[in-house]
Amino acid sequence: MIFILRELLKPDAPPGGGAPAPIIELALKLALSLHDRELLFALAKHRGVSVEECASKLVERGLASSETDAILAPLRKEFAESGYTDDELAEQIIEARDEYHSERRKSH
């Protein structure tokens, strides 16, 4: 998840080129309704690809949309202006995650 946040906060490659982003495998657990699960399996079968590959392409398409760019633009700008490094951001995210889990354990 941290890798995703770091990559989302980085500005896109310059127009007209740039090196393609590296492909990183990321294990996710999806919570889908039975209907959406069936649609995903049917779409994968129709395209002749694995369910994992189909889901990956759907996520990539969603993240590449102009709507996503518009949503992330303020976050990217804020991150760039903050002076934080990728490692500092990752450290803050890990600290927040650990604090959240600690509080959840205390309340249960």
- Whether this model's pTM surpasses 0.75: no
| Tens digit of each residue's pLDDT, the chain (108 residues) | 444 455 555 555 544 455 666 777 778 888 999 999 999 999 999 999 999 999 999 988 887 777 877 888 898 888 889 888 888 888 888 888 888 888 888 887
DSSP 83: T
Tallying the residues shown for the chain, one arrives at: 108
Say how far apart CA 64 and CA 73 lie, in whole Å.
13
What is the four-CA torsion angle of 66, 67, 72, 74, rounded to 10 degrees?
100
State residue 39's pLDDT score: 93
CA distances to 48, 61, 81 from 77, in Å: 40, 23, 6
